Amino acid sequence: MKLLAAAKAGDAAALEKLLASQQQRIYRFSVKMCRNPDEAGDVLQDTLLAAARTVRGFRGASSLSTWLYTIARSYCVKKRRRSKFAPALEESLDAAPSSSANAVADDGATPEDAASSREVSGAVAEAVRRLEPKYREVLVLRDMEGLTAPEVAKVLGIRVEAVKSRLHRARASLREVLAPAMGIPEASSPTPTCPDVVTLFSKYLEDDIDAKLCARMQEHVAHCVHCQGACDSLQEVLSVCRATPTVRVPPDVQASVRGALSQFLERHVSTGARAASRPAR
């Protein structure tokens, strides 16, 4: 990436443009993880400033976005530790007036469609928010931000197997909460021969079961109304997760981040210029 190469070479304008291109995804991730818009704004600013300070040391062992998610996640963890005595239940961000104004609306939607979309988005946000942090972060990174399991492992500093284990549990928990909220009834009760089809289907989505087990699962699902419904509901829940409205970076947060970066770059450029003008010893 030319922009990254220029930023690493000390081009302040390239660095500013590079970080600006990443702020939307970092803010979106921070909102879901911090569950507080003010804290998410702080995390965004801290993350971009940290990236500006250390970009020259970025070796490209992972993608730029994965590197930034790793930094943002560390600041989210710090916020969470400081807020451990906060109330257990918080208002759903996506359902709050401050965030609904930032959602991307479908101009062709009817008022009824828009209300239904807001209701589903609020239910998704609430269900994700209630997950334990270690399950919430893998689900957000994998199913909402679209990282691969190995990329999620790099962000979290854990093994891929641990990522997948947490992901399967998070998906199952989310389906259990969201399916009724979305009006998806259980087709029937499971039979004694029914496997844990939700976990198996989640593993199937990650290419994490062998061909024989996959064939047995498909054969069972083809003849079992309950398991077919469970797989369909999980797929629908994950589709809704991936399509949740975009949370825009508020103008005041953008202005704050832009000001902080400008101050940093001015100091950085002036310091570099002074150092370059000093006579050699």
pLDDT of 245 strictly over 90: no
Alpha-carbon dihedral angle through residues 12, 13, 16, 20, given to the nearest 10 degrees: -160
Distance of CA 212 to the CA centre of its chain: 33
pLDDT band at 99 (very low <50, low <70, confident <90, very high): very low
Going by CATH, does the domain composed of 105-244 fall within 3.40.605.10?
A: no
Q: Determine the distance from the C-alpha atom of residue 267 to the mean position of all C-alpha atoms in its chain, rounded to a whole number.
A: 32
pLDDT of 133 higher than 60: yes
CA distances from 275 to 54, 206, 270, 279 (A): 19, 51, 9, 9
Query: Could you give the percent of the chain with pLDDT greater than 90?
Result: 53
Domain boundaries, given as residue ranges, for the chain: 1-87+249-270, 105-244
Same fold, 1-87+249-270 and 105-244: no
- Residue recorded with tokens 């208002």: 91
Residue 171 has pLDDT above 80, yes or no: yes
Q: Per-residue pLDDT tens for 182-226?
A: 777 776 788 888 999 999 999 999 999 999 999 999 999 999 999
Instruction: Determine what percent of the chain is predicted with pLDDT higher than 70.
Output: 81
CATH class in words for 1-87+249-270? mainly alpha
Decide: 167 and 238 in contact? Cβ < 8 Å. no
Sequence-distant (≥ 6) Cβ neighbours of residue 58 within 8 angstroms: 4, 8, 64, 67
Cα separation, 163 vs 168, in Å, equals 9
